[in-house]
Structure 1
Amino acid sequence: MDLYRFPFDTQNCSITLQSTVYSAEEIQLDVATDKIKILQKSKELFQAQGEWELIDINETKAIMIDWVEADQLIYQITIKRRPVLYVINIMTPVFFFLVLDVISFFIDTSGSDKVSFKVTLLLSISVMLLILNDTLPSTSRRIPLIGVYCSVVFILIGISILETILVNYLMKKGAKKRSTVETAAAVTGKYCVRGQQNPPDSVRDQNEEQSRTLDLLKQILRAATNRNQEKISLSWNAWARIIDVIFSVLYMFAIIVFLSVHTNRWFS
């Protein structure tokens, strides 16, 4: 069986009738009725309403020349698989898993829910691959297109998980840098406050102008610290956002190209 286009495959079966004892001079084989009547009668007798559908029957006559010439009557039967069951049970769920993976780009990247969601999708694709492995018969020919379809979707979701992990890493690194700057600013402000509360005896009698100068210096230091903190945080967050947007565009483009090429190969 040629399962390359499974489940949209069409199979050809040949039945050869001949005598192994008598030659063509003793027994001649011929078709009793024409092709149209044979096809109609066969469809009436073809009662199986399951996986296969009878499409056509062709008959040809030949002569086998071996140790004796013998008449041959060859029937070529064409049957087509009904793909609805496989489309509903395998192809459609895998496609919706891919759509859910694309929609997951709109989930907030600050938490771990996005990674958990994508890992769940990857496990679901793994289950579908196991079902497909049990459904397809063993074959030594080319890999069926449905196997390529599920495997490529599995790889795409795996790459998407790696990108999500990278974006989360950049976001957490920016948050870590921000907390480090906040800690340094808090320690600096505390030191300034202590210096103001316990001044040496020589400056205890300073006037209000010096106190205002100290307050102004503290405000400048706080503003510079906040600016540096926002700059560091925005730098890491900006890289994370840029990577996420670029990857999402390339990801959707790759999906569209893959589905277009694969569908063309499936029905060509």
Structure 2
Amino acid sequence: MSGYQCKCPQGEQVKQVKQQEQSQSIRNTEHEEYQHHLRFTLNVSKLSCKEGHSGPTHESMQAVFDLKPFRPAVNLSNPTIANISFTLYAVLGVNEKTQILTTFLWLRQFWQHEFLVWDPDECDGVTRISLPVEKLWSPDIIVYEFVDDDVSQACPYVYVNHTGHIRWDRMLRLVSSCNLEIFSFPFDMQNCSFTFGSYMHTIRDVRLSPALTFQEMSRNSKRYLEASGEWELVDLLGETSILQFGVDEWDIITFWVVIKRRPVLYVVNLLIPSSFLMLIDILSFYLPPHSVDRASFKMTLILGYTVFLLIMNDLLPSTANGTPLIGIYFSVCLALMVISLLETVIITNVLHHNSMKYKEVPNWVRVVVLKHIANLICYRWTEDVQPPTTPQKDEPEISNVDSGLWIIQPASQTPAQDPTSSRGAAALPELQQICQYLGDLHAHLTSMHKENELLDQWCHVGYVLDFLLFRIYLLLISCYALVIISMWCVWINQS
């Protein structure tokens, strides 16, 4: 047992010694590799050339290609400076529902490769060559707002200057997220940001700066973008900043692209047809209000406006955050048409009060409508006053006998002077029947006259209300149009 206890500490010491030797050998190996890499980078700091050959030799460049995994800096404590500039060539699409902006950029990047340096005098005067980009180290610069796969056409070559300055031109189809404001559609302006920065390298490794001034980039973009398309470039702004996340910091460049929509298409296809339909609805008030065609015409107009909105629905932007002002405009126009139809229904009901026979116009309606409102809207009308009829001298008189029968007597004769009075008793049944017919006719004419008077009074009430509601309708449409135009103008001026 004592021997077993003495053997254990010696075994542990042997294991610790072996682990220390292995770790020391690993550190020595890493140090030798780093020294080898440092000596190699110092040796290839300038490419070699052969007489009779233009440009650096393939062997010297192959040594540089083998260093692709390493950042091309002799002193790794010095960051690599990358310069960026782009030209906005086209705005391919704006999807308001998904809040995505699709653009096409001509992107240009510059950086310094300290291993690709040669003397033009030794290389037959060659100052610039093209090399495949896949053979060289390139900064991992991305757009932070990128939300789709990169389907841009690849540009596999770069230009390398004899001083090690690399230029990489490529085309970029950028699908980026953007907070799109569509309230003032189609007179809207959008401000979208493009943030360029390295994904992995911090400011200790890669620093970013614009290759051109922001004014030059804006001027170049306007020259290509103003030719055609739905959108035009208003301005291109930018700034450089540092993005901090935890203890690490990244150098970024943020560009703000301000674009404005050309509203001619939407004004011609949306606003003008809607204004025409509203104008026809206003002119429909000049149809006779007692005509049934007026109500059917307005119903047909509402149906046509609904079909117009369904057809033009694809042209209107839609988002979950809000509704454009033009959508509210169409909804209110449809509501005004419905109100116009309701007004026609009310006036038609007033004008057809003759179905309720012998119902006179209330006194308060006479005072309020036929007097005050009529004076307010300058409506003039005259009542039909007929003077009481008096029997003429030579007209026959109708007298009632005790038996309830009517006897017609000439005005110029008396019963004593009538030569046919002796024969009156013989014709008494026929005269009684004729008198009864005349009495029924008199009652019917009296009823018709009273009904016509009541109908005429209700017609005047309906016309006065129609004039009043028509003017209120015109006032509502005018105020609504002024409010919409003012909101659009204020929004454009603020933008």
Task: Pick the aligned partner of 1:240 from 459, 462, 467.
Answer: 462
Distance in 2, Cα, partners of 1:125 & 1:205: 68
Q: Is the 8 A contact 2:214 2:237 kept in 1?
A: yes
Say whether 1:147 aligns with 2:327.
yes
Equivalence for 1:192? none
Q: Is the 8 A contact 2:298 2:341 kept in 1?
A: yes
Equivalence for 2:410? 208
AA at the equivalent of 1:134: D
Which structure is higher in helix share? 1
AA at the equivalent of 1:153: C
Shift of 1:26: 2.2
Task: Pick the aligned partner of 2:230 from 47, 51, 62.
Answer: 51
Shift of 1:219: 9.6
Distance in 2, Cα, partners of 1:129 & 1:205: 74
Shift of 1:19: 0.8
Q: Is the 8 A contact 1:18 1:73 kept in 2?
A: yes
Q: Is the 8 A contact 2:354 2:451 kept in 1?
A: no
**Relative to structure 2, which stretch is displaced further, 73-82 or 166-175?**
166-175
Structure 1 unmatched runs, 5+: 179-195
Distance in 1, Cα, partners of 2:256 & 2:471: 49
**Relative to structure 2, which stretch is displaced further, 118-127 or 10-19?**
118-127
AA at the equivalent of 1:261: V
> 2:270 is paired with a residue of what secondary structure?
helix
Which structure is higher in strand share? 2
Shift of 1:132: 3.9
Which of structures 1 and 2 has the bigger CA Rg? 2
> 2:352 is paired with a residue of what secondary structure?
helix
Number of corresponding residues: 248
Say whether 1:263 aligns with 2:442.
no
AA at the equivalent of 1:12: N
AA at the equivalent of 1:88: V
Point out which structure has higher relative CO (alpha carbons under 8 A, 6+ apart): 1
Equivalence for 2:261? 81
Say whether 1:7 aligns with 2:186.
yes
> 2:295 is paired with a residue of what secondary structure?
helix
Say whether 1:19 aligns with 2:19.
no
RMSD of aligned C-alpha atoms? Answer: 3.3
User: Identity of paired residues, percent?
Assistant: 31
> 2:207 is paired with a residue of what secondary structure?
coil
Structure 2 unmatched runs, 5+: 1-179, 359-397, 415-435, 491-495
Distance in 2, Cα, partners of 1:9 & 1:77: 14
Task: Pick the aligned partner of 1:36 from 197, 200, 215.
Answer: 215
Distance in 1, Cα, partners of 2:237 & 2:285: 54
How do 1:83-98 and structure 2 match up within 5 A? 83-98=263-278
Q: Is the 8 A contact 2:191 2:258 kept in 1?
A: yes
Equivalence for 1:231? 453
TM-score (norm 1): 0.81
- Deviation readout 1:101-122 (Å, 9 max, x if unpaired): 1111111122222112211221
Shift of 1:48: 6.7
Task: Pick the aligned partner of 2:354 from 147, 150, 174.
Answer: 174
Shift of 1:231: 1.9
> 2:208 is paired with a residue of what secondary structure?
coil
Q: Is the 8 A contact 2:233 2:260 kept in 1?
A: yes
> 1:61 is paired with a residue of what secondary structure?
strand
Shift of 1:74: 0.4
AA at the equivalent of 1:50: G
